[in-house]
Structure 1
Amino acid sequence: MDKLDLAKTYKSYYSAPTEPQIVEFEPIRYVTIQGQGDPDDHAFSQAAEALYTLSYTIKGIYKKEEQDFTVAKLEGLWWVDGDVSKALLVPREEWRWKLLIRMPDFVRAESFEEARTQAMAKKKERGVISSIAYESLQEGVCVQMLHVGPYATEPETLEQIDQYLAEHKYRIAGLHHEIYLSDPRKVEPSRMKTILRYPIQEIEVVEG
């Protein structure tokens, strides 16, 4: 039985160069969980653990149907209330986030509900698992770039993205999106790899 590996099947989604790049994506299905606060807090790690628990439960259901797949990388959408340009200036406790794990196209909504019921029966964190959703995200045209290094130096990469958008007359039209290619528990900070992505739109130039 062949095992579907989303990272190999969708290479443009799970890879990026170390300079800004324009890409486009169709609607994609994810299991997601939303929260607020410092990513170093327990609530964040608890949400990530619950998301992986449910993803592996879904995987188990489809493995029995001979449609096995590799659980994909963790992703995150990030924002703050008010002026998003000041996201790095507000206290981390005010950050809002939505964690995502991409699902294969063949995963059905009823299988998600079945997996969530199974996971809730096995885990103490029933409330966290019950808040996980199965939803579609359509980002369309995006700019993305590979950030190499610790999360704290992401602003340097984001500055390159901002310069690129200004030069090519684009504007950000969606949430800050990160794909965590490296496990921070296993990779030293200077070598960690994270894809940074934004949905974008062309700026209309009005002829005078």
Structure 2
Amino acid sequence: MKLDNRKLDLTKANPSYYSAPREPQKCYFDEIPYLTIDGEGDPNGPGFAEATEALYTVAYSIKGMCKQEDQDFTVAKLEGLWWARSHSGQDAMYASREDWMWKLLIRIPDYVSAERFEEARMLAVNKKPHLAPLRFVSFERLYEGDCVQMLHVGPFSAEPETIRQISEYIEAQRLTPKGRHHEIYLSDPRRTPPHKMRTILRHPVTQQEN
């Protein structure tokens, strides 16, 4: 029996995940499956570019396998978790780029299993044996729960102002930050002028105890 062959678009299927207002907003997200890869240092360096290529290579490998079984999907937006190696409690945006730590993410459909991921990753390794970071791509389910998010419009260098607004909202609502600064890249920097770039900035929170 054939499965429904309509292509799944995670962006359209999860509008609350891929949209945010221009002011801080509290929201909630359950456990979500991702492809991930960890790295450190300046995102303008070759390590970041190779990690991104590896992540997309595995994502498209999974897509190809799923398409053969009439479970095709659109590869989702790139995302990133950011923190600073030697600045405990400090947002990565305020630390030196050499101290930046990051985990790149691509959301994948719920029906993709860990076994399917590993099969696709090995196909990618065989296809691009020169791309060393493929060995470090992982399958993870991440839970953030309550979050505060906001849409940032403009270059990445202007993010501190948006982060400040998020921080003020968190404090005013008697919330406590937890976890890592999360960014969802809605725009393609190769095709979008810096002043028009759209990025969701999100941070997990917990309610302060009285």
TM bucket normalised to smaller:
over 0.9
Matched residue count:
205
What one-letter code is carried by the residue in structure 2 that aligns with 1:7?
T
Q: Is 2:18 the counterpart of 1:14?
A: yes
> In the TM superposition, what is the alpha-carbon distance from 1:167 to its structure 2 partner?
1.0
Q: Which residue, 134, 144, 148 being the options, matches 1:143? A: 148
Q: Is 2:40 the counterpart of 1:36?
A: yes
> In the TM superposition, what is the alpha-carbon distance from 1:86 to its structure 2 partner?
5.4
What does residue 125 of structure 2 align with?
120
- Is the 2:81–2:104 Cα contact (8 Å) retained in structure 1? yes
What does residue 183 of structure 1 align with?
188
After TM superposition, the structure 1 = structure 2 runs for residues 13-162 of structure 1, keeping only pairs within 5 Å, are: 13-81=17-85, 82-85=87-90, 87-162=92-167
Distance 1:150 1:126 in 2: 29
> In the TM superposition, what is the alpha-carbon distance from 1:125 to its structure 2 partner?
3.4
Q: Is 2:181 the counterpart of 1:168?
A: no
> In the TM superposition, what is the alpha-carbon distance from 1:126 to its structure 2 partner?
4.3
Distance 1:159 1:51 in 2: 30
Distance 1:143 1:37 in 2: 26
Report SS of the residue matched to 1:45.
Answer: helix
- Is the 2:83–2:91 Cα contact (8 Å) retained in structure 1? no
Q: Is 2:199 the counterpart of 1:194?
A: yes
> In the TM superposition, what is the alpha-carbon distance from 1:65 to its structure 2 partner?
0.4
Distance 2:172 2:40 in 1: 34
Q: Which runs of 4+ in 1 moved over 4 A?
A: none
> In the TM superposition, what is the alpha-carbon distance from 1:38 to its structure 2 partner?
0.1
> In the TM superposition, what is the alpha-carbon distance from 1:170 to its structure 2 partner?
0.6
Distance 2:91 2:147 in 1: 21
Distance 2:149 2:54 in 1: 27
The share of aligned pairs that are identical, in percent, is 54
| RMSD (Å) for aligned C-alpha atoms | 1.0
> In the TM superposition, what is the alpha-carbon distance from 1:88 to its structure 2 partner?
3.2
1:69 and 1:157, CA in 2 relative to 1: closer, same or farther beyond 3 A?
A: same
Query: For residues 89-128 of structure 1, what are the alpha-carbon distances to aligned partners after superposition, in whole Å with 9 as ceiling and x for unaligned?
Result: 4320110000000010000111111111100011133431
Name whichever of 87-96 and 111-120 sits farther off. 87-96
Distance 2:173 2:130 in 1: 47
**Structure 2 stretches lacking a partner, 5+ long:** none
Query: For residues 110-161 of structure 1, what are the alpha-carbon distances to aligned partners after superposition, in whole Å with 9 as ceiling and x for unaligned?
Result: 1111111100011133431011000110000101000000000000101111
Distance 2:79 2:26 in 1: 19
Report SS of the residue matched to 1:85.
Answer: coil
